[in-house]
Amino acid sequence: MRHLRCGFVAAALLLTASPSFAADDVIMLPVANAINTPEAQQKLPSSVKFYFGNQPVGRIAQTFDQFVSNRKTNAFAKSDDAACQRAFLSALISLHQRADELGANAVIHIVSYYRKHEVSSDTEYECHKGFLMAGVALRGDVVRLADH
């Protein structure tokens, strides 16, 4: 009975937690730090290239579609970098899978697209991190580059 009462108290505290627990901090982080991790190197085969913002891409042979990937991850007790990198990597994996499905070899003009708000950068991505969750949304054009 005592454990049940403690559980109810804990649940009540979570439901009435101060807004600081529900914070949604907007963080800009370097793309290079995330894509150069061993995990990213292992999970993102080189068959699809990623181009952020307005990076030069060369000649486009075929355009398939525009795709949005919105990924979230558990951020509890994780650093901003660790939680955001995990969500970012998950979003890139999703873009990579879409490109593979369509027979594309690149995703270009990748922008952060959290809650349909576009933030374009050649070198950074936007992450929203709260107490329990971190989220990254990316939008990019799935294409086949001629010189790949």
User: Which pLDDT score, from 0 to 100, does residue 147 have?
Assistant: 81
User: Which pLDDT score, from 0 to 100, does residue 148 have?
Assistant: 65
Residue 79 lies in a domain: yes
Any idea what the CATH number is for the domain that residue 30 is in?
3.30.110.70
Residue 7 lies in a domain: no
Segments in 68-144 forming alpha helices (H): 80-102
Single-letter residue type at 148 = H
User: Which pLDDT score, from 0 to 100, does residue 15 have?
Assistant: 46
User: Which pLDDT score, from 0 to 100, does residue 24 have?
Assistant: 84
User: Which pLDDT score, from 0 to 100, does residue 60 have?
Assistant: 97
Q: Decide the pairing of beta strands 49-52 and 106-114.
A: parallel
Q: How many domains does the chain have?
A: 1
> pLDDT digit of tens for each residue in the chain (148 aa)?
555 454 554 454 444 444 434 468 999 999 999 999 999 999 998 999 999 999 999 999 999 999 999 999 999 999 999 999 999 999 999 999 999 999 999 999 999 999 999 999 999 999 999 989 999 999 999 999 998 6
**Residue 26: which domain range?**
19-145
Structure token digits, residue 120: 């374009």
Residue 118 lies in a domain: yes
Residue 12 lies in a domain: no
CA distance 78 to 80: 6
